[in-house]
């Protein structure tokens, strides 16, 4: 049994680790896709190749790794809603032509203390999902934070305007655009140790870059227990 990482078996919930009735999770929240695209044809770019999708139920939109019903509903509801409120607030600022964040990289509008903590849990969940998607383990600290079981926020987040948003929309003749960055392992200078696990999301003209930095013990554990995953990431130029 690992300290920070736990191997996921088929049928295990990628967040709480227990076997049970599992359900799929969207790579980009269904409500955001619907708001962005309505019933129109979707353009969503992931990894390298932009994919044109027909509906929010497309397989490119869902993670194949699964979450149990409880984790997908009550345990992550506050985080999902906090992220919704964050996104709506940022979109409003963008529409008004205002700065999205202040000098501390905090959103430039009032949010409750609870929401300000909870929206980070949403990004923690997304990293957990991407890690499971590539056959990686469950991170205990990250999944517990995602589920609201601890308040130790390990997520770094950078919010910016997606300057390409309007350009892409006009070039691809679509009203909406969304993109997720997949999973990325960032290595140290010598490309030996995984320094951080990262992903990104762009929807509605708002770009979110988020990552978690690994402590030494986690770096060692990932390197020695999940060596194949680390080698694959390295060989794919660090990008899935
Ligand atoms: Zn669960």
Within-domain flag for 56: no
d(CA 198, CA 210) in angstroms, rounded, equals: 6
The CA 2 to ligand 1 mean position distance, Å, reads: 19
The CA 34 to ligand 1 mean position distance, Å, reads: 26
Within-domain flag for 163: yes
The CA 31 to ligand 1 mean position distance, Å, reads: 21
The CA 74 to ligand 1 mean position distance, Å, reads: 10
Within-domain flag for 215: yes
Domain count, the chain: 1
Say if CB 202 and CB 64 are below 8 A apart: no
- When pLDDT is averaged across residues 153-176 and rounded to a whole number, the result is 85
User: pTM (2 decimals)?
Assistant: 0.89
d(CA 197, CA 52) in angstroms, rounded, equals: 27
**pLDDT value, residue 240:** 43
Q: Are strands 206-213 and 194-203 parallel, antiparallel or unpaired?
A: antiparallel
Within-domain flag for 214: yes
Within-domain flag for 176: yes
**pLDDT value, residue 46:** 57
The CA 23 to ligand 1 mean position distance, Å, reads: 10
The CA 64 to ligand 1 mean position distance, Å, reads: 15
**pLDDT value, residue 237:** 58
Within-domain flag for 225: yes
pLDDT tens per residue, range 104-121: 889 999 999 999 999 999
The CA 216 to ligand 1 mean position distance, Å, reads: 27
The CA 183 to ligand 1 mean position distance, Å, reads: 21
Least confident stretch, 194-198, 219-223, 224-228, 231-235: 231-235
Output 191-200 pairs: Cβ under 8 A, ≥24 positions apart: 191/234, 192/223, 193/219, 193/223, 194/219, 194/222, 194/223, 194/230, 194/233, 195/219, 197/127, 197/131, 198/127, 199/123, 199/126, 199/127, 199/130
The CA 16 to ligand 1 mean position distance, Å, reads: 4
The CA 112 to ligand 1 mean position distance, Å, reads: 27
The CA 75 to ligand 1 mean position distance, Å, reads: 8
Q: Which domain holds residue 184?
A: 76-235
Within-domain flag for 158: yes
pLDDT tens per residue, range 31-57: 787 787 776 666 666 554 455 555 555
Within-domain flag for 108: yes
The CA 19 to ligand 1 mean position distance, Å, reads: 8
If you average pLDDT over every residue of the chain, what do you get? 87
């Amino acid at each position: 049994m690992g300290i920070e990482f736990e191997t996921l078996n088929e049928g295990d919930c990628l967040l709480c680790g227990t076997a049970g009735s599992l359900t799929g999770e969207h790579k980009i929240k269904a409500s955001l896709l619907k708001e962005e695209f309505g019933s129109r044809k979707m353009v969503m770019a992931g990894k390298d190749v932009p994919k044109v999708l027909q509906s929010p139920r497309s397989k490119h939109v869902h993670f194949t790794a699964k979450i149990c019903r409880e984790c997908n509903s009550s345990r992550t509801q506050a985080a999902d809603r906090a992220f919704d409120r964050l996104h709506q607030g940022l979109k409003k600022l963008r529409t008004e032509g205002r700065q999205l964040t202040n000098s501390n990289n905090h959103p430039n509008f009032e949010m409750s203390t609870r929401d300000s903590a909870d929206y980070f849990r949403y990004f923690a969940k997304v990293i957990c999902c991407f890690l499971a998607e590539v056959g990686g383990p469950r991170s205990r600290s990250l999944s517990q934070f995602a589920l609201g079981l601890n308040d130790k926020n390990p997520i770094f987040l950078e919010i910016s305007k997606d300057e390409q948003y309007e350009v892409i929309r006009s070039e691809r003749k679509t009203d909406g655009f969304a993109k997720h960055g997949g999973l990325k392992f960032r290595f140290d200078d010598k490309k030996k140790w995984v320094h951080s696990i990262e992903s990104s999301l762009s929807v509605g003209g708002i770009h979110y870059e988020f990552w978690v930095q690994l402590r030494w013990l986690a770096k060692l554990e990932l390197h020695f227990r999940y060596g194949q995953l680390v080698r694959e990431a390295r060989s794919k130029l660090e990008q899935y």
